[in-house]
A and B are shown apart, each in its own frame.
Chain A
Amino acid sequence: MAKEVFMPKLSSTMQVGTVLQWFKEEGDSVEVGEPLFEIMTDKINIEVESYEEGILLKRYYDVDDEAPVNAVVGYIGEVGEEVPNTPPEVAGEKAEEDESAEPSVNVITDSSNDTSLVEEVADENGGKVRATPAARRVARENDVSLSLVSGSGPRGRVHEQDVVMYIDRNKVIVTPLAEKIAKEYDVDLSQVTGSGSRGKIEKADVLAFIESQKAASSSVAPATGERVKLKGLRKAVADKMVESVRTIPHVTLTSDVDMTKVIEVRKALLPVIEGQTGYRLSYTEIIMKTVAHVLGNHPKVNASLVEDEIVYNNDVNIGLAVAVENGLIVPSVEKANQKGLAELTEVSKTLGAKARDNKLTPNEMKGSTFTISNLGMYAIDGFTPIINPPETAILGVGRIVEKPVVVDGSVEVRPMMVLSLSFDHRAIDGAPAAAFLTEVKESLEDPYSLLV
């Protein structure tokens, strides 16, 4: 019997995957463990290996097509076996329950169920509108499609009153003359706002509508330039940013840090760590080390907000924002507070390189409890970083630049850096966030305190 090839679910947030390329044509033979196709999720690109041996009988999705998680993207079987011409329905529930229907691909899968998807599918399969007999009668008498009416009853049941209100709302009252003009100019009367009594549409309303349509069409200049569809990683970044900004009340605090001693520390340790690991210690790792250490004293800032619960995380996992070609990826440095600078340097550099090469595994991108975004290589001082949910805070790092500062009553030139801490005001208040940032500043200005 032919076996399904499923779109794997690679993370708890993954809803769809985009097919980047197929390594096999229909009719090619496939071995277990052979790469079958490559997909792009909201986080990574990954090759999907076959879990079955046989002939690739069918491919349902072309390159650049999006397929929902658990969708059947193809079949593997024996020559001559019949497979459906169109992909079967996404059997979300079935795939979870039936062992034989396990994804026939060898990839790391996340066991967490995406229940919302399952429910949606179930609803679609039902397809029927929940409505009372009375609602159906009124809808029938008035030629209204019940699927357009939103129900006020339990589980969205449509009642008579809902249909009556729908009809009332959508009723177009129009004068005969206005109707005639509308017909002549092909105007959809439901778009026209009536100025008469009870919203009656009059001749002037239709004419005004026609004028406004003309004006609108002439004012929209055709956009020039290359158009790129928002998809893949770009779309994932876009969605995540909008979600974060829309749901999280952001507050950003800034503080100037005197980096004199950090520079000394880096100078002293650079050759040591380079000798040990082959990687050059950068300020990012020293800041990461400091932040991870201070987070240990500030569990409120190392928290996640999941639905209605604040989770005070046991581990301090630092997310590191990495710019890649078409977006932004945040690999996670696990238990950063327990790692020394040499290890942190090695891990950060490795993760950064993997991120830029699109080689991160899903595990390397999850679990971060706090994110650091460093724009210090540019001429940037402070900025307002956007929180990476479900985390509740993010630290923006600016450049180190020499500035005149007042030290003990006299003006001195010091290497200064601005830290920008954005926090989620639902979970964290101003005072604890300020206390955290102050301790980070003090620790950086006196890095030896980290040894205590």
Chain B
Amino acid sequence: MMREITYLEAVREAMSQEMRKNDDVFILGEDIGVYGGAFGVTRGMIEEFGPERVRNTPISEAGIAGAAVGSALTGMRPILELQFSDFITIALDQIVNQAAKIRYMYGGKGKVPMVVRTPSGSGTGAAAQHSQSLEAWVTHIPGLKVIQPSTAYDAKGLLKAAMDDDNPVIFYEHKLLYKTSSDVPEEQYSIPLGQADVKRKGTDVTVVATAIMVHRALEAAAELEKEGISIEVIDPRTLVPLDEETIVKSVSKTGRVVVVHEAVKRGGYGGEIASMIAESEAFDYLDAPIKRLGGAPSPVPYHPELEKAHAPQVPDIIKAIKETLNKA
């Protein structure tokens, strides 16, 4: 049975449904109890599941992550919430040097089935320390899986898959997407990690977009359709593992590709996607240089207009697409 709910509700529903079924699953983080978390995602959960399974923690991301790794090793399946993904810096030692490596180093004797949920991205006027998109950092670490859902439907299905996974998963929720809504089934369902979604079919240019950029790419595609330009929008949904096949197939068909994400372009995951395409069999079908769009190489400015200018917007995507078509 389908109904329209928000991205935020979808995340909450995914956790609640799993917690009702599986006593090993619990959540921990700062102010996730009565307050409901920085963005209200866990609101109401402490009332249903109680303080044992919805655990308020001290303000220490290293402590939260360390506790999650430890409990996961004993057989629990923790979901930890970091208020802002910028604060992952404090938790990275636990995530990178412990969570990502223990299963490997001990030959599979122990495993770390944990999910790190954390809001990212700019656009809320939260300034330079609360607006970053740092997902490329964790994609670099073997042993971590990285997810960036763009719709409520994807969020629910991917979070289920993340909770079911026996490895640490970083689950990025874009702040601006919390209030977006889409049709979401009531029952539990799982979207396999490493399966991209073709959000729009097209023939002229492939746009590979993540998170909020999926929506901007779709807007750009709708604009360009009026000019007779047909855009295929691919949402990888999971950065690690990456569904290379879907991207390569699309680029082989269109011959032109624009990769767009909100993270700073330099060192961003778009570079990885572009390189993958260049190395793939799609190379011989490329009919224009691969184009990347990403954030400006500066901190996110604390000014509404400058903040907008920092990240790619719809007109930027349209321009980049036209450039690959020699129509700019």
Binding site for B on A (CB under 8 A): 132-137, 152-154, 159-161
Contact = CB atoms under 8 A, between A and B. Distances in A.
B326 A133 contact: no
Most buried by B among A134, A135, A154, A160: A134
A137 B284 contact: yes
A160 B326 contact: no
Interface string B269-312: 00000000000000111111100000000000000000000000
A152 B326 contact: yes
Contacts of A152: 326
Nearest to A133: B286
B286 A153 contact: no
Across chains A and B, which 3 residue pairs bring their CB atoms closest together, nearest first? Answer: A134-B287, A137-B284, A133-B286
17 contacts: A132-B255, A132-B287, A132-B288, A133-B284, A133-B285, A133-B286, A133-B287, A134-B255, A134-B284, A134-B285, A137-B284, A137-B285, A152-B326, A153-B288, A153-B326, A159-B288, A161-B287
Nearest to A154: B326
A135 B287 contact: yes
Contact of B255 (A136, A154, A160): A160
Contacts of A137: 284-285
A133 B285 CA distance: 6
A436 B15 CA distance: 93
B284 A136 contact: yes
B287 A159 contact: yes
A88 B284 CA distance: 38
Contacts of A136: 284
A161 B326 CA distance: 12
Interface string B4-16: 0000000000000
Nearest to B252: A134
A287 B289 CA distance: 65
A154 B289 CA distance: 11
B286 A159 contact: no
A5 B239 CA distance: 63
Contact of B283 (A133, A154, A161): A133
A135 B289 CA distance: 12
A134 to B, nearest CB: 4
Nearest to B284: A137
Given A132-B286, A137-B284, 14 more contacts: A132-B255, A132-B288, A132-B289, A133-B286, A133-B287, A134-B284, A134-B287, A136-B284, A137-B285, A154-B326, A159-B287, A159-B288, A159-B326, A161-B287
Main secondary structure of the interface of B (DSSP, over half): loop
Nearest to B286: A133
Nearest to B255: A134
Contacts of A134: 255, 284-287
A25 B305 CA distance: 76
Contacts of B288: 132, 153, 159
A134 B324 CA distance: 13
Contacts of B286: 132-134
A321 to B, nearest CB: 49
Contacts of B255: 132, 134, 160
A427 B288 CA distance: 43
A231 to B, nearest CB: 43
Contacts of B285: 133-134, 137
A417 B42 CA distance: 105
Contacts of A135: 287
A421 B287 CA distance: 56
Contacts of A133: 283-287
Contacts of B289: 132
Nearest to A153: B326
Contacts of A160: 255, 287
A153 B288 CA distance: 9
B292 to A, nearest CB: 17
A133 B251 CA distance: 12
B71 to A, nearest CB: 50
Interface string B244-274: 0000000000010000000000000000000
A338 B233 CA distance: 75
A152 B325 CA distance: 11
A144 to B, nearest CB: 15
Contacts of A153: 288, 326
A135 B286 CA distance: 8
Nearest to B326: A153
A409 B289 CA distance: 82
B101 to A, nearest CB: 39
B203 to A, nearest CB: 13
A154 B327 CA distance: 10
A159 B255 CA distance: 10
Contacts of B284: 133-134, 136-137
B296 to A, nearest CB: 24
Nearest to B283: A133
A133 B284 CA distance: 5
B248 to A, nearest CB: 13
A82 B56 CA distance: 86
A132 B284 CA distance: 8
A152 B326 CA distance: 8
A153 B289 CA distance: 11
A366 B223 CA distance: 58
A373 to B, nearest CB: 49
A135 B255 CA distance: 10
Nearest to B278: A133
A154 B325 CA distance: 10
A326 B97 CA distance: 88
A133 B281 CA distance: 11
Contacts of A154: 326
A316 to B, nearest CB: 49
Contacts of B287: 132-135, 159-161
A136 B284 CA distance: 8
A134 B285 CA distance: 4
Contacts of A161: 287
B167 to A, nearest CB: 36
Most buried by A among B283, B285, B286, B287: B287
A274 B285 CA distance: 83
Nearest to A159: B287
Contacts of B283: 133
A78 to B, nearest CB: 52
A160 B254 CA distance: 11
A159 B289 CA distance: 11
B255 to A, nearest CB: 5
A152 B289 CA distance: 14
A388 B230 CA distance: 54
Nearest to A161: B287
Nearest to A158: B287
Nearest to A160: B287
A135 B288 CA distance: 10
B131 to A, nearest CB: 35
B253 to A, nearest CB: 11
